[in-house]
Homo-oligomer: A and B are copies of this chain.
Amino acid sequence: MDLKRKISIAVIRRLPRYYRYLSDLLKLDITRISSKELAARMDITASQIRQDLNCFGGFGQQGYGYNVELLFNEIGKILGVDSGFNTIIIGAGNMGQALANYGNFEKRGFRLVGIFDVNPQIVGKRIKDIQIMHFDSIDEFIKNNRVDIAILTIPYNATPAVAEKMARLGIKGLWNFSPMDLKLPYDVIIENVHLSDSLMVLGYKLNQKYRRQA
């Protein structure tokens, strides 16, 4: 994983997709694949695959292609699936619970270590072995436990203040589900999920296709 030059975010965002396709190939007991065939499956060019992978190293072999398991593991390493990130969920509403129950994150290196909410009706309940704690106890919790990432599934208006609090408590990464672009005067890394943006793009495409503008 040399750092000769900065790897573009476009490449990074494709890595999880490669990871998914390689995972599928593994499940199909396919042990080797050429960039050409993988490209066909993924609907991209073989050139792009080879360029992308060579940002991180030469994982293939001339005349042979790529060993699926090896490549899967290498991309996993690049993405840090063996990093064991400790995460907490702030906001145990439907979205928070959905994410808490989603088993895939664990497989990808994200361990859920705490869930917080302000609603006394919810505090104390268990989700996946984890008892929901009151948000008031979060300072204490973070003091006593390593927490890398806070997942924010809280109401829109609460988000900026809670995010700032997380940053001040030393959290390194925020995964934000409120429809806003979080920006903080701390060097915390933020990844925003914009669900309604995605839905609106779908709406746009439908209108384009069916000219159903109201």
Residues of A within 8 A of B (CB): 12-13, 15-17, 19-20, 42-43, 77-85, 93-95, 97-99, 101-102, 104-105, 108-110, 148-149, 172-173, 175, 179-181, 183, 189, 191, 193-207, 209-210, 212-214
Contact = CB atoms under 8 A, between A and B. Distances in A.
A19 to B, nearest CB: 7
Nearest to A195: B193
A79 B172 contact: no
A210 to B, nearest CB: 7
Given A98-B93, A214-B80, A12 B206 contact: no
A93 B102 CA distance: 11
A203 B109 contact: yes
A189 B172 contact: no
Contacts of A80: 200, 203-204, 206-207, 212-214
B198 A175 contact: yes
Contacts of A202: 149, 173, 175, 189, 191
16 contacts: A12-B204, A12-B205, A13-B201, A15-B200, A16-B197, A17-B181, A77-B213, A80-B200, A80-B204, A83-B206, A83-B212, A93-B98, A93-B101, A95-B95, A110-B203, A173-B203
Nearest to A76: B200
Given A101-B94, A173-B202, A179-B20, A13 B207 contact: no
A100 B7 CA distance: 38
Contacts of A195: 99, 102, 193
B204 A198 contact: no
A15 to B, nearest CB: 7
A42 B42 CA distance: 33
A85 B19 CA distance: 34
